Amino acid sequence: MTLNQTADLLAAARMRIVELEDRIKWLELFAPKTWETKFPHVRFTDKVTVTYNDGQTETFKYLYNCNRDLETVDWNTVVKCEDV
């Protein structure tokens, strides 16, 4: 195998990796979020209260605009979540 053939194979592999990364990002858009999987009974459309395993609570509002705040939560430490 020549150096050019090797370079071509590497370039093709890099392109395939980029394609796969793009496909993963697209699939993540439609995959259930962690909070939806852990608390399927909660709608997450307006306001929710989250209770952590240390007893602290946090309320997230205006989720109909954006649920970006929910991505900051460590859902492994959440023991309860409910619509408010």
pLDDT number for residue 56: 98
The angle formed by the CA atoms of residues 43, 33 and 15, to the nearest 5 degrees, is: 150
Alpha-carbon distances of 67 from 13, 21, 41, 61, 84, rounded to whole Å: 35, 23, 17, 9, 15
**Mean pLDDT in residue range 17-46:** 93
Coil, strand or helix at 73: coil
pTM of the model: 0.67
| Structure tokens, 55 | 């007893």
Domains of the chain, by residue range, sit at 1-31, 32-84
Mean pLDDT taken over the chain: 94
**Mean pLDDT in residue range 2-16:** 92
Sheet arrangement for strand 78-83: 57-60, 48-52, 78-83
